[in-house]
Amino acid sequence: MTAHLPHLGSGLGYRRELADGIAASGNAVDWLEVITEHYLFAPPDSRQALRELRRGHPLVPHGLELSLGSPRPPDPHYVAALAELVAEIDAPWFSDHLCFTRSEDISVGTLTPLPRSRTVARDVARRAQQVQDEVGVPLILENITYHIDLPNPLSEAQFIAEVMEHCTCGLLLDLTNLDINSRNHHYDVADFLDTIPLERVVQVHLAGGTQDPDGTARDTHSAPVPERVWALLAELSARTDIKATLLERDQDFPEDFAEITAEIDRARDTVGPRFAPPVPRAVPGTAAPAAGRGRGSR
């Protein structure tokens, strides 16, 4: 399901606070990731704003509430609306998290880690495969951070590998989450990368966080990407074909947008000039985008 996917290049998580910088940056940002729930069941003006974004950049929806780890299957109304959104913006894939976020009909308000057993992994894989089949494009699953790690039959990497063994979905490997978990829970990043199926990695997330006085690392998306994470990106890129990189910044935005584009450029250069990102196709009801975007035209 993932081998044929396009190389999107080096992208940015879309936030309203960054909109002016994105618009003024020309082709510095290859693609944008948008939060799925901001546009599902949204009023017409929000969907029109999304179509305007699509005129300038390929878009990929990134979800928070699919809750593949909940005992019940995902809400069919949510999945139907997700399929409509993916089709409307011609997304090459969509993503969500390996976690649960809902108990019955109540949102728990956070990305909650799962018990790591083979049974749970296979249940998650079955639900993920069902959603992917209904939406019609690949679903890629992201590793989360967690601050409490109870005893489990499987390590985090073994759990991810077991999920991948039982579905055809891809992986969104958040390298910052990997770095944070390895530091907080004292495991070896090299062992993690040796255990998961790297050939299933489609996309990576890059972000910067904070550290508490007691040494606990926090995934706050509030700082530049640390050198440890850049080193992980270089190692991963040497071992597998990454289709897209994505910089996340959710708070403490720099006054100079050039600080953002410098990190986007670094991610692009680290992965290497393997591609020229595709020119977005026109969304119905909009003008066709201008040609010439992407690394090949820079």
Determine the pLDDT at residue 101.
86
pLDDT of 266 above 70: yes
Domain that holds residue 134: 9-278
Q: What is the pLDDT of residue 123?
A: 97
Residue 255 has pLDDT above 90, yes or no: yes
User: Which two structure tokens, joined as six digits, stand for 186?
Assistant: 């004292």
Top-confidence residue, 292 or 36: 36
Residue pointed to by tokens 């290859």? 30
Q: What's 3's DSSP letter?
A: T
Q: What is the mean pLDDT of residues 154-169?
A: 98
- Residue 184 included in any domain: yes
Q: Give pLDDT tens digits for 92-151.
A: 999 999 998 876 676 777 899 999 999 999 999 999 999 999 999 999 999 999 988 989
**pTM of the shown model:** 0.90
Structure tokens belonging to residue 279: 């020119």
Q: What is the pLDDT of residue 287?
A: 42
Answer yes or no: is pLDDT of 197 > 80.
yes
Location of structure tokens 């679903």 = 139
Q: Give domain status of residue 176, yes or no.
A: yes
Mean pLDDT of 148-167: 96
Share of the chain above pLDDT 90, in %: 81
Instruction: Read off the pLDDT of residues 206-246 as tens digits, 9 standing for 90 and up.
Output: 999 999 999 998 899 999 999 999 999 999 999 999 999 99
> In this structure, are strands 244-247 and 201-206 parallel, antiparallel, or unpaired?
parallel
Return the HEC string of 188-215.
CHHHHHHHCCHHHEEEEEECEEEECCCC
Residue-wise pLDDT tens digits, 48-98:
999 999 999 999 999 999 999 998 889 999 999 999 999 999 999 999 999
Whether residue 291 is contained in a domain is answered as no
Is 4 within the bounds of a domain?
no
The pLDDT, as a whole number, for residue 289 is: 39
Whole-number Cα distances in Å, 297 to 27, 112, 182, 277, 292: 9, 42, 39, 10, 6
How far is the C-alpha of 71 from the C-alpha of 120, rounded, in Å?
9
User: Please, which residues have CB within 8 angstroms of residue 258's CB and are 6 or more apart in sequence?
Assistant: none
268 part of a folded domain: yes
| Number of structural domains found in the chain | 1
**CA 87 – CA 171 distance, rounded (Å):** 21
Does residue 178 lie within any of the structural domains?
A: yes
Residue 156 in domain: yes
CATH code of residue 67: 3.20.20.150
Task: Indicate whether 144 belongs to any domain.
Answer: yes
Region 28-37: what's the mean pLDDT?
97
